[in-house]
Amino acid sequence: MQRRQFIGGAALATAAALLPLAGGADAAAAGPRRVLPLPLQPGDTVGLVSPSSATDDPIDLQLAAEAMQALGLKVTAGPHLGSRRGHLAGSDAERAGDLNAMFADHDVRAIICVRGGSGAARLLPLLDYAMIRRNPKALLGYSDITALHNALLSKAGLVSFHGPIGSGSWNSFNADQFRRVFFARELVEYRNPSDPGDELVPRQNRTMAIHGGIARGELVGGNLSVLSALAGSRYLPDFSGRILFLEDVGEAPYRIDRMLTTLKLAGALDHLAGFVFGQCSECDPGGGFGSLTVPQILDDHFGPLQIPAYRGAMIGHIRQQFILPVGGKVEMDADAGTLRMLEPVFQ
C-alpha cells in the first residue's frame, strides 16, 4: 500500500519545524539500554494484532492465523483484530490497547502484525513503554510497522523485527527465514540469492555498492516515508554509529529525494556507520518532465558521506524479504552486498 497519504505535505512541514530535535546527542544520552526479546519455539503462543489499516477481506485474518499455525505456533487474536474505523483497524485506543495487552500477557511469546497500511504512528503516545520493557517480546512486521519498530527501540530499547506481515506471503524463503531467526536463533547472514536462470549472468536480486567498505553497528530504519514522518519527534532513534536501512513503495523519485533531504536536514544522516537500501517498488519516474532516478538520488545523499553503503538488498514490499533485527548488532559489507548478525537477538 502506498505510504503517500501517511506522510503528506503537512507532516513534512511539521517535521521541518521540529528538525533540531531529531537524532541529536541529547536523544542518544536519554535513550534506554537495549533489551532483547524472549526466545520463541514451536508450540509457543503468538498474538495477532492490527495496529494500522483494517483488512479489506476477513480471509486475511484467517490466512495470518493459518500461516502461524503452519509454522508450529499457537495463535491468540487481539480483541479488535477485525475492527474498522474508516481506514483504520479500530480506534486508536482499541489498537493500542490490543498491543499493550499482548505485551502484558505472559502466555504470549511474540507479536505478529497482520498488516501495515497507515495509522501505527497514531498509537505511539498510547503505548506503555515501561511495561513493554518489563515484558520484552519480539514484534514482527514492516511498512507502516516501521513506526512501532523505531518507537520501541527509542522509548523501550527493545529489539524488534522488520519482516513479513501475518497476512503476507509465507513462501518457502520467508518461512525458512522465520525458522532460522526465531526457532534456530542463528546469527544469520543476509545475502541475496543469485540464480541466473537461463541467462549467462544473474539479472535479478543484484546488489550494487554506493561506497565500498565494511561497517558494524546496530540496525535502524524501515520504510522511508514512515521514518521521515517521525523526524522531530521523540520516537525517532538516534542514528549515530548505526547502520540505516530503508525501503519504500509507490513513491516518485522526487518524493524519495524530499524525504531523504528531511532526514539530512534533521542531522540524522551525519554520523551513520553504514547504509543499506532495499527495494523501492513502483518508484519509476513519471512522465511530463525530467527526473532523477532513485539510484542517482541515493548516490547524491550517501556517496558524499564516504561510508559503506549499498543498494538492492531484499528488503521492502517484495514477495521474498529478509527478517532484520531492528536494534540488533550487525556487520555490513557494501562490496559483497551482505549483512550479518554479530550477536544473539534473543535473551
Catalytic residues: 143, 247, 317
Calpha distance 246→222 (Å, rounded): 5
Place of cell 497507515: 118
Which among 208, 206, 170 has a CA at the least distance from the CA of 319?
170
Q: Is residue 268 within 8 Å of 22, Cβ to Cβ?
A: yes
Q: Which of helix, strand or coil describes residue 230?
A: coil
DSSP label at residue 309: E
Q: Is residue 236 within 8 Å of 150, Cβ to Cβ?
A: yes
Q: Which of helix, strand or coil describes residue 292?
A: coil
195's CB contacts (< 8 A; 6+ apart) are: 202, 204, 205
Q: Which of helix, strand or coil describes residue 171?
A: coil
Q: Is residue 315 within 8 Å of 278, Cβ to Cβ?
A: yes
Calpha distance 181→13 (Å, rounded): 39
Calpha distance 300→107 (Å, rounded): 48
Inter-CA distances, 50 with 96, 100, 149, 306, Å: 9, 12, 14, 40
Calpha distance 121→282 (Å, rounded): 24
Inter-CA distances, 28 with 12, 22, 237, Å: 23, 10, 8
Q: Residue ranges of the alpha helices (H) in the chain? A: 4-17, 25-30, 59-70, 92-104, 129-134, 146-151, 172-178, 224-228, 253-265, 294-302
